[in-house]
Structure 1
Amino acid sequence: MNSVVTRTWSSVLFDLDGTILDSAPGIIDALTETFQHLGLPVPSREDFMAYIGPPLLASLQERAGLSEAKAREALAIYRNDFRRDGAFDSAIFPGVVGLLDSLRDAGVPLAIATSKPETQARPILDHFGLTEYFTVIAGASENDARTSKAHVVGHALSELGKAGADTSQAVLIGDRIYDVEGAAAHNVPTIIVEWGYGSPTEATGAIATVYSADRLRELLLGN
């Protein structure tokens, strides 16, 4: 087994959507409502999957072709609808709670690093009883001052450091190329989970891909 993958990790950062939670149903329903409200052609549910992971403001401009002003209007509508109806329309992926238990028992500091706004991420984690596992919950800011995955990862690392955690051997667990690129901006390697929303090509640059929570546990803890 590759020693680069099985080294002792000093802290572990987790993406949220597509990594810990299968949150696609609620996100897609809120996006559908947003597009209908604005009178825009509604993509298929399959096409909407590409919106999950990267910062939504960027996706609305790049994928839907909206101007920045129109994209910000759409984002405000989406966030309002998601908070009302879609925030808890999710499920924890199989094996994730057991993995978090193992990491906590091993004393490994954990953080959430999500492109979702922190004001959404925290109540969702509370709802699913997951908040207690994480030393830090880092997400995008509502004012869009912190939007990119690189900004979010940097914020998570900074907050872990303030909490006394060792981030010298940190690793990010995610499912999209945006996770790989955002972590790489801070020289943090990424392990990609195959149960998420990314395509196989998005694992390019990751140090490993895993098909199950048990396999991920092996890479993170060596057991």
Structure 2
Amino acid sequence: MTSDLPTTTIAPARTWSAVLFDLDGTIVDSATEIMDSLAHMFTEMGVPVPDQEVLRSYVGPPLLDSLRMTAGFTDVESWEALNVYRDHYDEHLLRSPVFPGVKGLIHRLHDAGLPIALATSKPESMAREVLAHHDLDRYFTTIAGASDDETRSTKADVVAEALRRLREQGIDTENAVMIGDRGYDVLGAAANGVPTILVEWGYGSPVEASEAIAVAHSTDQLRGLLLG
């Protein structure tokens, strides 16, 4: 996301009851590994590999949908491509680093007693593995992601599942906030009545920030928006 994004202010009296985080582009810098696996997938499928800008557009949204709508694959081809991608990506999953300052931020939120959930379009099993590898899973009240069979894959469905699990644990979700980097995060959260703060260090474009309530240009700024 480019540095010319505007910062939208939030009323200082706002107190958040829970924080939902996206994973790719928000917590971990996974674009390189994802794009490499996408290139491998297209090659294996006998399709010309798109340029870097197009490959990057695949990072974030549910991949099965992107394979159908962006790549133009049939349903059968999309599933074949998805399995090829997953087999390759699984070998490189843990190479993606956490963005600077994010681990400390999550630690601070946890110490402040603010419930934290993950809401990612990445398969939940992979998301759990990534958080555990970086010793971050212990800070999360719940980890919600896409199901392996893709019956739960849209951001709206994943956010709904994260909120449901939080409520099951007696956590107030009336003033929850989503932290993400793409317009898909904004739309998926909004479908559940949850506002979104976008992070500048992710993979979104300025236009994707138009419906967000704020753009955080640093982890220190994001901490201030969440904790005051």
TM-score, length-normalised on structure 1? Answer: 0.96
Listed one character per residue, the Cα deviations across residues 142-169 of structure 1 (whole Å, up to 9, x for unaligned) are: 1111010000000000001112211110
1:45 is displaced (CA, Å) by: 2.3
Corresponding residue to 1:75 among 70, 79, 82: 82
* 1:120-162 Cα distance to aligned partner (Å, 9 max, x none): 1111111111101101000000111101000000000000111
Change (3 A) 1:163 1:31: same
Q: Structure 1 residues 37 and 157, CA, compared in 2 at 3 Å: closer, same or farther? A: same
State the 1:46 CA deviation: 2.5
Asked if residue 189 in structure 1 is aligned to residue 195 in structure 2, the reply is yes
DSSP 3-state at the match of 2:179? strand
Q: Distance between the aligned counterparts of 1:34 and 1:78, measured in 2?
A: 5
Offset at residue 72 of structure 1 (A):
1.1
Partner SS for 2:81:
helix
What is the DSSP-based 3-state SS (H/G/I as helix, E as strand, rest coil) of the residue aligned with 1:124? Answer: helix
- Asked if residue 175 in structure 1 is aligned to residue 181 in structure 2, the reply is yes
Q: Which residue of 2 aligns with 1:202?
A: 208
Matched residue of 2:94: which SS?
coil
1:12·1:111 contact (CA, 8 Å) conserved in 2?
A: yes
1:164 equivalent among 141, 164, 170: 170
**Is residue 2:104 matched to residue 1:98?**
yes
Q: How does 1:1-223 map to 2 (within 5 A)?
A: 2-4=9-11, 7-83=14-90, 85-222=91-228
List per-residue Cα deviations over 1:173-200 (Å, max 9, x = no partner): 0000000000000110000001000001
The runs of 5 or more residues in structure 1 that have no matched partner are none
Same amino acid, percent of matched pairs:
55
What secondary structure is seen at the aligned counterpart in 2 of 1:92? Answer: coil
* Cα pair distance change 1:82/1:5, threshold 3 Å: farther
User: Is this contact kept in 2: 1:11–1:170, CA < 8 A?
Assistant: yes
- Quickly say closer, same or farther: Cα 1:97–1:6, change in 2 above 3 A: farther
User: Aligned equivalents of 1:35 and 1:4: distance in 2?
Assistant: 46
Ranges in structure 2 where 5+ consecutive residues have no aligned partner: 1-7
Aligned-pair CA distance for 1:61 = 1.2
Contact 2:26 2:202 in 1 (8 A): yes
Where in structure 1 do 4 or more consecutive aligned residues deviate above 2 Å?
Answer: 1-6
* Alignment partners' CA distance in 2, 1:34 and 1:68: 16
Deviation (angstroms), 1:2 = 4.3
Question: Partner of 1:198: helix, strand, or coil?
Answer: coil
Give the deviation of 1:95 after TM superposition. Answer: 0.8
Matching residue's letter, 1:89: R
8 Å contact from structure 1 (residues 6, 220) kept in 2: no
Q: How many residues align?
A: 221
